[in-house]
Amino acid sequence: ADVVGLFDFPFMVHALAAGTAVALAAGPVGWFMVLRRQTFAGHTLSVISFPGAAGAALAGLPLGVGYFGACAAGALALGGIRRGDDGAEARESAATGTIQALALALGLLFVSLYHGLLNGVSGLLFGTFLGITAAQATLLALIALAAITVLVVCWRPLVFASVDTEVARARGVPVRVLSLGYLLVLGLTVNGVDVVALVDAELRRRHPELALIRSDAVGDLRAGWATVKRSWATTMRRAA
């Protein structure tokens, strides 16, 4: 009875729908990620959404544009690496690590320029699973459906290209296109839930002074600046 009662709460229904979509897509997408030895790339693509969303907020663009746009740009960058020849795995690992480091640095830079406080940003990035809205659950279900559909259509050539890249290339399989397409699918899957709104709400809850910093009133700006100075002084004392 207690379990059934959970479905009386909309946030639990949304979380269950989102979790089901994630589980259905994560199975085949994750299988290919392991088969292609691109687990590091999967982690990096999940990190890239951070600077994308922060950069979009800084530029005044819709957050979803930066969120998914950065993910697509990262997939394009990783997809440009030739796979299958000598040294390909080393080059891919080096490029993946470089992109990840650059993404984290840009994310912290954009957040600082946006006047957000950096305390706990890495922990806040993932939001809360129980805070997913109906619209986000629907979007995630559509992304999961698209990812599964693409994998079903490209299953045989993608398996061939993943197991023996050079032979697949010699047989005329479009290895580069498949690699890029899979990375796009992987990026959309690992970034399927748009948590930007959740992160912003959690930052506002933990740091109500952010409303003062973003205010147009002179008094609020002075109070916000005083809070920033106190926070900075506390940070310096901890560093010392």
175 in Cβ contact with 167 (< 8 Å): no
pLDDT (tens digit per residue) in 58-72: 777 776 677 778 888
CA distance 189 to 30: 10
Would you say residue 117 has pLDDT above 50?
no
CA distance 66 to 49: 7
Residues 125-131: what's their mean pLDDT?
59
Quick one: pLDDT at residue 43? Answer: 83
Residues 182-196: what's their mean pLDDT?
71
CA distance 76 to 162: 18
Residue 159 — very low, low, confident or very high, per pLDDT cuts 50/70/90? very high
Quick one: pLDDT at residue 149? Answer: 92
Residues 149-162: what's their mean pLDDT?
91
Q: Of residues 10 and 32, which shows the higher confidence score?
A: 32
Structure tokens at 130: 């129980």
190 in Cβ contact with 45 (< 8 Å): yes
Q: What is the pTM of this model?
A: 0.62
Amino acid at 101: A
Quick one: pLDDT at residue 87? Answer: 58
Q: In angstroms, how far is CA 4 from the centroid of its own chain?
A: 32
Q: Provide the 3-class DSSP secondary structure of residue 240.
A: coil
pLDDT (tens digit per residue) in 60-112: 777 667 777 888 888 888 877 666 556 567 777 888 888 888 888 888 787 77
Query: Distance of CA 128 to CAs 19, 167, 181, Å?
Result: 12, 45, 29
